[in-house]
Amino acid sequence: MKIQFFGAAGEVTGSRHSVEVMLSGRLRHFMVDYGMFQGGREATNKNLEPLPFSPKDLDCVVLTHAHIDHSGLLPRLCAQGFSGAIYCTNATFELLKILLLDSAHLQRSDVERAERKIRAGKWHGEIPVALYSIEEVEMTLNQFQPLDYGQVTELAPGVSLEFRNAGHILGSAIAIMDISEDGAKKKRCVFSGDIGMKGKVLMPDPDLVKDADVVVVESTYGDRLHRSLQDTEDELVEVISSTMTAHGNVVMPAFAVGRTQEILFLLIDLVKRGRLPHLSIWVDSPMATAATHLTQHFFSQLDGSSQATFTWFKNNQDAVDLRFIADVEESKALNKVKGGAIIISASGMCDAGRIVHHLASNLPRTQNAIVITGFQAYGSLGRRLVDKVQKVRLFGEDVPVKASIHTIGGLSAHADQAGLLDWLRGFERSPKTVFVVHGEPESSSVLAKCIRDELHWENVIIPEHLHAYQC
């Protein structure tokens, strides 16, 4: 069996893991995730790079969850000739109907905006590239085969797949592949996808897996510990309270799928417990709006405390003025609000979508606060804000950064170092090989050392981009 890493090796985004096995004398080829690289021009170049094999040769794709850095290049793969099945959970499939179409729409909008500015002589900078079209997304959606958690499915004679709950976002899964290769003992490969935090808002704790020969584990926060939920709440209450007192706005860039819903539930819960007064919250992302409604549809998959908060809000809707922005004109009008608003908008890394317009309007004013709630990849606008730049270039113009910037890491949907080690301790014996992926070099390196030192697992590898490994 050969595993090759076409993304998320030495970096966080672009998860794409190739698995090749020999079955009945025939080479079979599977892909686990097929995500988009994110963060600057280098990411765009990687997204455009061709695979070293024909997509037509892939048997199927196993998708762990809906986030774009795991799913975002699937329409491009299908447009290039891949015609096999894409396996995911039911909730992931429903989210992808929203998320992939939105991704294609954003790409087309960015290109059209750049073309208009070029014609007017007002564009300065790199020209965006559309990786796929809305029509190609619609064709790709026909190739999905949704599965329930715990349902065992045969991918090919000698290869089975089972999804377990990863506790990361709605529908997120740990992928378990049992492989009986020609002339070899059966092997179990476990792909963590993205592992969620225990005891976090909205999602249940990640499932534990007892047995594996090969484990591919994420390491997004493998070198650090998150703040406790209590500390996170305290900081969020302080930022919101002080900003509202100063008659400013709180702008929260948030991933439309997962993070937006977590923030909403947390804010409503803080009002419910009397830690915050009546709030005026605008959710300005069509995708986030649809994902929030979908979260309600999968109510039974939420953790118990979030179910209770949601039920309370349905009975006390005057406690929070929650508005979902429907159209572009309403979104533009929101930029005229000078104080008292909490604006939650996508994209989470601030590189595209309506959040860029809200940042352009709110960054120049000292009474405003920008609250960063998720991981910001190198090269992204969000990362530059976290790094305290004095100005940013938006829509071809320099915008001064005068608003306060706050990073609240305790809201992460990813397990921290302790959470990842706790999940790995669920294995009852040491896997033969562990690959540490989906992390910047320092995070992966620190987690790999912890696995060796604390779990005493010997064969722990940080794979290199494009390198193949025999297992």
> Do the Cβ atoms of 147 and 88 come closer than 8 Å?
yes
How far from 71 is each of 15, 61, 78, 99, 170, CA to CA, in Å?
A: 8, 10, 12, 9, 14
Nearest to 434 by CA among 188, 208, 214, 220: 214
Domain ranges of the chain: 2-224+413-470, 229-411
| 165 pLDDT tier (thresholds 50, 70, 90) | very high
For 283, residues 6+ apart whose C-beta sits below 8 A from its C-beta are 260, 264, 289, 292, 322, 323, 324, 325, 344, 345
> Do the Cβ atoms of 209 and 185 come closer than 8 Å?
no
Dihedral sign of CA atoms 361, 367, 368, 372 in order: positive
- Enter the DSSP assignment of 38: -
Sheet containing 16-23: which strands, arranged edge to edge? 144-147, 85-89, 60-62, 26-32, 16-23, 2-7, 468-470
Task: Retrieve residue 359's tokens.
Answer: 């940042």
Residue 19 has pLDDT above 90, yes or no: yes
The arithmetic mean of pLDDT across residues 335-355, rounded, is 88
The arithmetic mean of pLDDT across residues 380-388, rounded, is 90
How high does pLDDT run on average in the chain? 93
The arithmetic mean of pLDDT across residues 14-42, rounded, is 93
**What are phi and psi for residue 463, nearest 5 degrees?**
-70, 150
pLDDT in tens, 428-459: 999 999 999 999 999 999 999 999 999 999 99
Q: Which amino acid is at 452?
A: R
> Do the Cβ atoms of 369 and 248 come closer than 8 Å?
yes
Percentage of the chain surpassing pLDDT 90?
72
| 250 pLDDT tier (thresholds 50, 70, 90) | very high
Length of the chain, please? 471
In this prediction, residue 448 carries a pLDDT of 98
Q: Which CATH class is domain 229-411?
A: alpha beta
Chain centroid, CA 300 distance in Å: 22
The segment with the largest mean pLDDT, out of 58-62, 97-101, 128-132, is 58-62
Residue 216 has pLDDT above 90, yes or no: yes
CATH topology of domain 2-224+413-470: Metallo-beta-lactamase; Chain A (3.60.15)
How far from 224 is each of 29, 278, 420, CA to CA, in Å?
A: 35, 34, 11
Longest CA span, the chain? 71
Residue 14 has pLDDT above 80, yes or no: yes
pLDDT in tens, 256-313: 777 888 899 999 999 999 999 999 999 998 878 888 888 888 888 888 888 899 899 9
> Do the Cβ atoms of 156 and 71 come closer than 8 Å?
no
| 102 pLDDT tier (thresholds 50, 70, 90) | confident
